[in-house]
Amino acid sequence: MKKIRRFLERLLPPGMDPKTLCGTFITGAVISVLASLSFWLRYTIEIYELYETVGGKSQRIEGRMMPDFIRLLGDVSFENSLACFMILACIMPLFAIYHYLYHRQGARSDYLMRRLPRRWVWHARCLALPLLAGAAALVLGFTVLMLDFGMYMLFTPGDAILPGQWMKIWSVL
Amino acid sequence: MLKIEKLSKRYGGKRALTEVTVELPRGEIVGLFGENGAGKTTMMKAVLGLIPFSGAITLDGETVGRRNIEKFSFGTCEHSFIPNLTAMGHRDFYAEMFPAFSEKRFNGLMDFFELPRHRPIHTFSAGHKNQFEVIMALSQGADYILLDEPFAGNDVFNREDFYRVLLGILEPRETVILSTHLIEEVSDFVGRALLLRHGRLVGDARVMDLEDRGMSLMDYIKETYHYRADRVSRALRELGGEEDEA
């Protein structure tokens, strides 16, 4: 744990506690994952719609098709089950502004950072973790997208899937 | 040798520095004097590349920039330390960033000023913050140590002790450029005085030369600034006159 902390500290302005940024990222990631479960709610409703009960037996409704994966994911808006990942990916880089301002809080440590022989250190320490966290949010969102898609393809009867699902994802992305 | 040639700086329409030209060899303690707004801080910031300017600033013939900036350190009354970092945290950071950082000097000065090593600097008193700022400037391992009003708010005993320590620890290659209003206090310590007025260099004298002329640093400064000795008596007379009229 100490090693991770030390690693994170080296990616932040000197003296800054990694807790704030990491706490925000973890909270945001948990909320995003929970919000992404709305896909499964929609999926479960739609998969039941494929079947009807006849004489106490469940059977497929002929010609009934599963909605497109991308539709189940939600519109390209805040209803989208992956919208929270996008919001998180946009919020994390804002920490960079806070990191630059940090060097003007209580002192002008920007004077020190600006006269370092390796001047990129200042920018690296202000930008690295916010950008990494933003990228991590995108990767996490993409991973959930792939998992959802995999499950959609795995659990939906093959003849109920409309063709071109993969391409439809990319057309939206 | 630090060479400043035709250094000029404007803030909006206001001239902060006008064609300042000066050469500062290694191994001097230079006092930079001038009233508020004379351009002392601006000059230091220009040397460090913290503000854009016109003119040329070179160290040993090379423009001051990323390649030689480690030869300069800065202690300012604005404070350039990192408030959330402890003294030890600063030591580690400086040691990593500045190859010539002197841990020996850092430890010696920390002991001398009796500063806590494991507390964030923002918890220090104002006086301790100033002392710490100066410690880091002196420990960086720079050839040119720029100190801008470093002891604003410190008591006189601390300041005098510091000047004595400064004289004792400086190596021949080190130059201290000290901006201060406490002229009489530093007159025994500085070897050269630079006088700025309204952004212009109006005086440059070696204290030894002044002594040869039977002049103190304060006399020289008053003479250069055309200080009117009767200023106070005239003001008192005028104020008294107003009272009489009332």
Q: How sure is the predictor about B241, in pLDDT bands with cuts at 50, 70 and 90?
A: low
Structural domain harbouring B112: 2-245
Backbone angles phi, psi at A75, to 5 degrees: -65, 165
Q: Which residue of B70, B93, B122 is in closest CB contact with A14?
A: B93
Look at residue A110 and tell me if it is in a domain: yes
d(CA B123, CA B217): 38
Non-local CB neighbours of B56 within 8 Å, separated by 6+ positions: B3, B4, B5, B6, B7, B63
Pick the residue of A112, A122, A126 with the most B CBs within 10 A to test the interface with B by mutation: A112
d(CA B43, CA B66): 18
State whether A13 and B69 contact (CB < 8 Å).
no
A158 touches B at CB < 8 Å: no
Is residue B105 exposed (0-12), middle (13-18) or buried (19+ Cβ within 10 Å)?
Answer: middle
State whether B97 and A108 contact (CB < 8 Å).
no
Q: What average pLDDT does the segment A48-65 reach?
A: 90
Look at residue A164 and tell me if it is in a domain: no
Q: What is the pLDDT of residues B212-226, one digit of tens each?
A: 999 999 889 888 887
pTM for the predicted model, two decimal places: 0.86
Q: Taking CA atoms, what residue in A is nearest to B93?
A: A14
Q: Which residue of B78, B79, B89 is in closest CB contact with A14?
A: B89
Q: Which of B207, B185, B182, B175 is nearest to B194 (CA)?
A: B207
Q: Are B180 and B35 in contact (CB under 8 A)?
A: no
Look at residue A10 and tell me if it is in a domain: no
pLDDT computed for residue A79 by the predictor: 66
Q: Are B54 and B8 in contact (CB under 8 A)?
A: yes
Structural domain harbouring A133: 17-158
d(CA B84, CA B185): 33
Q: Report percent pLDDT > 70 for chain B.
A: 96
Look at residue A138 and tell me if it is in a domain: yes
State whether B79 and A107 contact (CB < 8 Å).
yes
Q: Taking CA atoms, what residue in B is nearest to A10?
A: B93
Cβ contacts of B78 on chain A, cutoff 8 Å: 107-108, 111
Q: Report percent pLDDT > 90 for chain A.
A: 75
- DSSP bridge pairs for B178: B31, B147
Q: Taking CA atoms, what residue in B is nearest to A119?
A: B66
Number of domains in chain A: 1
State whether B83 and A105 contact (CB < 8 Å).
yes
Gap from B50 CA to chain A (nearest CA, Å):
7
More confident residue, B155 or A166: A166
Number of domains in chain B: 1
B:125-184 residues touching chain A, CB 8 A cutoff: none
Q: What average pLDDT does the segment A30-48 reach?
A: 93
B70 touches A at CB < 8 Å: yes
Look at residue A6 and tell me if it is in a domain: no
Look at residue A79 and tell me if it is in a domain: yes
Q: Taking CA atoms, what residue in A is nearest to B119?
A: A15
Q: Are A9 and A18 in contact (CB under 8 A)?
A: yes
pLDDT computed for residue B246 by the predictor: 45
d(CA B133, CA B79): 6
pLDDT computed for residue B131 by the predictor: 92
A120 touches B at CB < 8 Å: no
pLDDT computed for residue A112 by the predictor: 97
How long is chain A? 173
Non-local CB neighbours of A89 within 8 Å, separated by 6+ positions: A134, A135, A137, A138, A141
